[in-house]
A and B are shown apart, each in its own frame.
Chain A
Amino acid sequence: MAAFNFKLITPEKVFFEGEVNSVSMNSITGRVQILANHVGYATGVLPCIIKIVVNNETKKAVVSGGFFQISDNKGVLFADSAEWPEEVDIERAKRAMERAKNRLESKDKNLDVERAKLALLRAMTRLKITEIK
């Protein structure tokens, strides 16, 4: 299968780098799968579980939003943070989910709804990846 170079970078480190067959993620408009030789493409990425396929082997990781771009068969995902399933701190994610839920229910007028929703989505994505492992 045709392959392309894919990098997943966070401010702390290069999280993943290598030749891959496909990458799936949630863009701002919906789930997308990127294959080799994709035309130049750029999109925003929501907190989601990202699926990386290398030689019929699937790797899963959770990313908390970012920005994806591919050109000349080189894909880069800039993520705010990324974790493999075994790295997720379940207790912390649960607490974050509670906090986000409380904020959304508080009916506070100054609440940044978008931010709270994203926080909730991040926490739920983290928990989801630990369940399907």
Chain B
Amino acid sequence: MAGAGLLEIKRRIKSITNTQKITRAMGLVATAKFRKLRERAGEIDIYYDEYKRAIEEMLKVNEVEDSVYFQQNSSDIDLYIVVTSDTGLCGSYNANVLNNVLEDMYQKKVAVITVGERGRAFFKKRNYETIAEFVEIGDKPAFKDASEIIKPAIDAFVAGNVRNVYLAYTKFITSVKQTVEIEKLLPFEKNRDLKSSNMEFDPSVTEVMNYAIPKYLYATMYHALVNSIASEYAIRMSAMDNATKNTEKLLEKLKIAYNRARQSNITQEITEIVSGAEALKE
């Protein structure tokens, strides 16, 4: 009897149906959240872009280089802030960020600040020096969360413990396109190509820069967080959609295999009965 094969296929069908339930539910949740997150990403974009433009305007001024955020220091460590997710089931989202960061870190002496459980586990396993770890930021980060994440980086730079600060995140472009960005945050560099401007500063260039730049960095961090989370959900959405489609295909194949096995079972039984009856006749 081929009953054992039948049972095994039945068991697989059941387990795949369960998986399908999970992927489908995760996909639905991601879709609902994604809509809200995309709006948020649009709002912070306005603030960040305007702030960036204002800062660039000031980079034309000669005296900006006196600000502490423009000073090169003698440390040989590069600090990376890496934004990842807390949970899996989001396709290649985390792998993309981490691979890009590793490539960028190649042959450098580095320290990291991790955002998200996935990034934390990744760097811990590989014994990287971590300055700070942030997990469970959730999908609605506050501006304050962003400032708390980046403060240790600013402090380390000002204290001269690190020479460069980089920020790695996933930029949200459209729901089907997201790219990993590694931006250099500190030190700032004066723009030498542009003509100098005659802007007035109250009370001085250095003081205004020292006041404006931390706030700009908070905005940059917030922008990166909101963008990463929107990307995470976009990727999760398509990953779950693909997974659901794959389970559907697999289920179809298994059902055919199941029916075939069942049919051959029946045929065999009938043959046995018929041949048994034939034997009795004679």
Contacts and interface: CB of A to CB of B under 8 A. Distances in A.
A76 B54 CA distance: 8
Interface of A: 7, 9-14, 27-29, 32, 39-44, 66-67, 69, 71, 76, 78, 80
Interface centre among A14, A40, A42, A80 (most CB of B within 10 A): A42
A46 to B, nearest CB: 10
Contacts of B208: 28, 42-44, 67
B interface, size bucket:
20 to 34
B200 A42 contact: yes
B53 to A, nearest CB: 8
A131 B175 CA distance: 47
A40 B43 contact: no
A43 B215 contact: no
Given A7-B50, A14-B46, A67-B212, A40 B200 contact: yes
B222 interface: yes
B266 to A, nearest CB: 67
16 contacts: A9-B46, A9-B47, A11-B222, A39-B200, A40-B198, A42-B199, A42-B200, A42-B201, A42-B208, A43-B202, A44-B207, A44-B212, A67-B216, A76-B50, A78-B47, A78-B219
B60 to A, nearest CB: 10
Given A39-B198, A41-B200, A69 B143 contact: no
Contacts of A69: 54, 57-58
Contacts of B54: 42, 67, 69, 76, 78
B44 interface: yes
Contacts of A39: 198-200
A76 B55 CA distance: 12
B78 to A, nearest CB: 28
Interface in B1-49: 43-44, 46-47
Interface of B: 43-44, 46-47, 50-51, 54, 57-58, 143, 197-203, 207-208, 211-212, 215-216, 219, 222
Nearest to A41: B200
Contacts of A9: 46-47, 50-51
Contacts of A27: 202
A28 B50 contact: no
Contact of A12 (B43, B58, B203, B216): B43
A23 to B, nearest CB: 14
Contacts of A44: 207-208, 211-212
Interface centre among A13, A67, A76, A78 (most CB of B within 10 A): A67
Contacts of B197: 40, 71
A13 B54 CA distance: 17
Contact of A67 (B199, B215, B222): B215
Contacts of B57: 40, 69, 71
A29 B58 CA distance: 19
